Structure 1
Amino acid sequence: MKISARNVFKGTVKSILSGMVTAEVIIEVSPGLEVASVITKSSAESLDIKVGDTAYAVIKSSDVIVATD
Structure 2
Amino acid sequence: MQASARNRFAGTISAVREGAINSEIELTTPGGDVIVAVVTQTSAQRLGLAVGKEAIALIKAPWVMVLTDEGGIKLSARNRMAGTVSRLIKGAVNSDVVIALPGGSAVHAVVTNDAVAELGLKEGVAATALFKASHVILGVSA
Both proteins in one fold, TM over 0.5: yes
Q: Structure 2 regions of 5+ residues with no counterpart?
A: 1-72
Superposed CA offset, 1:1-57 (max 9, x none): 322211001101001000110100000122420000111111111111111010000
Pairing 1:21–2:93 present:
yes
Consecutive unaligned residues in structure 1, runs of 5 or more:
none
TM value normalised by structure 1: 0.85
The share of aligned pairs that are identical, in percent, is 33
Give the structure with higher Rg (CA).
2
The residue aligned with 1:55 is 127
Runs of 4+ in 1 over 4 A off after TM superposition: none
Secondary structure at 2:138's aligned position in 1? coil
**Worse-matched range after superposition: 57-66 or 33-42:** 57-66
Q: What is the TM-score of this pair, normalised by structure 2?
A: 0.45
CA shift at 1:67, angstroms?
3.4
- Secondary structure of the residue aligned to 1:9 is strand
Residue of structure 1 in register with 2:117 after alignment = 45
Three-state SS of the structure 1 residue aligned to 2:117 is: helix
Count of aligned pairs: 69
**Structure ranking higher on relative contact order (CA contacts 8 Å, 6+ apart):** 1
